[in-house]
Amino acid sequence: MQKQIKLAIVTGRFPEETFIANKVAALLKYNYLITVFCSNVNQQQYRRLFENAHNITIAVLDKKKLALYLVAHPLIFFKHKRKSILLSYLLRDEVNKLKPDIMHFEFSGIAVYYQNIFASLNARKIISCRGTAEKVRLQIDEKLKEKYTYLFNEADAIHCVSEDMRNTILPYCSQSEKIFVNFPSVDTAKFKRTKPYTPQTVATILSVGRLNFQKGYLNGLLAVSELKKKGVIFRWIIVGEGKQREEIIFHIHQMQLQDFVVLAGIKNSDEIIELHQQADIFFLPSFSEGIANVVLEAMSMEMPVVSTRCGGMDEVITHGINGLLADVYDHETLAACMFQLMDNFELRRIMGQAARKRVLEQFTMERQTDVFENVYKGLLSNKF
């Protein structure tokens, strides 16, 4: 009988990052015993997704767990006191007691948080590089560069979501053979159009993502302002919340776009799917991405996508075939791409069908799981 692999997943909130939850659910169908170490667990979502799942344990590293740990280890508290250090020791002892075969840090920023105990974790260690930490923070913080160089040298494997991400981290990794690319995935059975794609009097543009500078919403406002100047009747729905909300509202009013732009707040996945059914174009005006999962979901829903060439987006979208691309900051070309689609329903329909075909070819959960499976087993057999 094949040996059951003990896998430790280290993440933040669980299962609120959908792509992490989907990965865990997929691996549970194989011969894995999974422990998820997280800072917080959404019990309602967890029950909905994993109520009947076996071989999964949640270990929440919260204040209560830390307090109990420090009562049993008072010398650690008197010696260190910093919360990040204390949590690191808690994680180290929990992991070494568990003795997992593989330990996967799902975000490089989390690995940095625990970097002081990284070498003392008794497992084969993987770090995932997904976007903001590597594309933004790593470029401006010299101390962070030193930490990443250390972590990448200590890790047994490094997962990148795109070739662009691989090229981003290469200067900090002396052993390039550790790096493997595994594209994000989407649940194509869930994100599947069930209503016909039909022309509408008012063109609806949809965006989904946090309200922060990386998502490029000011860039997007400049683009839709160009559509307004052309006399186009449209509505741009933005799903998400974030610290840039006030700034975005200010620019909406400054550009007199109140009648065109809707800040819809946070929506659950079922509500987002319904918005996909109603929309004509998905819009990603981002400045920085790894590969945007929201674009893969839109493409799976047969939505034509207009995106900037940020991060690995041109590894997903072939311009003119399954979407349209413009350079980062080029709001005029973004506007022209959207106008081209708005003016041609048949092009939108054909491009949307090609988009789903592209997702089915290379961005399915089955393909992503197979890649992780091969890497995990390769690490355990020293073949990776």
Tens-place pLDDT, residues 211-232: 999 999 999 999 999 999 999 9
Rounded Cα distance between 189 and 26, Å, is 13
pLDDT bracket for residue 102 (50, 70, 90): very high
pLDDT band at 341 (very low <50, low <70, confident <90, very high): very high
pLDDT surpassing 60 at residue 88: yes
Q: How far apart are the first and last CA of the chain?
A: 23
The pLDDT value given to residue 2 = 62
> Does 383 score more than 80 pLDDT?
no
pTM: 0.93
Q: Give the residue-averaged pLDDT of 111-135.
A: 94
Domains delineated in the chain: 5-185+364-380 (3.40.50.2000), 203-362 (3.40.50.2000)
42: amino acid identity, one letter: N
pLDDT at residue 1 tops 60: no
Q: Express as a percent the part of the chain with pLDDT over 70.
A: 99
In the chain, pLDDT over 90 holds for what percent of residues?
86
Q: What is the pLDDT of residue 82?
A: 85
Q: Judge whether residue 168 has pLDDT over 70.
A: yes
Cis peptide before 15 (omega within 30 of 0): yes
- Assign 141 a pLDDT band (cuts: 50, 70, 90): confident
Distance CA 68, CA 214 (A): 39
pLDDT band at 209 (very low <50, low <70, confident <90, very high): very high
Q: What is the pLDDT confidence band of residue 30, given thresholds at 50, 70 and 90?
A: confident
pLDDT at residue 172 tops 60: yes
Res 238 pLDDT > 80: yes
E strands, the chain, where?
5-10, 13-14, 32-38, 40-41, 56-60, 102-105, 124-129, 157-160, 179-181, 203-208, 234-239, 261-265, 281-284, 305-308, 324-326
Specify the pLDDT at position 109. Answer: 95
Categorize the per-residue pLDDT at 138 as very low, low, confident or very high, splitting at 50, 70 and 90.
confident
Q: Is the pLDDT of residue 309 over 90?
A: yes
pLDDT (0 to 100) of residue 254? 97
Determine the length of the chain.
384
Q: What is the DSSP letter of 2?
A: P
Q: Tell me the pLDDT of the chain averaged across its residues.
A: 94
Instruction: Return the closest-CA partner of residue 5 out of 384, 383, 379.
Output: 379
Residue 3 DSSP one-character state: P
pLDDT of residue 265: 97
- The torsion region of residue 138 among left (phi > 0), alpha (psi -120 to 50) and beta comes to alpha
Residue with more model confidence, 40 or 137: 40
The yes-or-no verdict on residue 81 having pLDDT over 90 is no
Structure confidence at residue 116 (pLDDT): 94
Confidence grade of residue 79 (pLDDT, cut at 50, 70, 90): confident
Average pLDDT over residues 169-188: 96
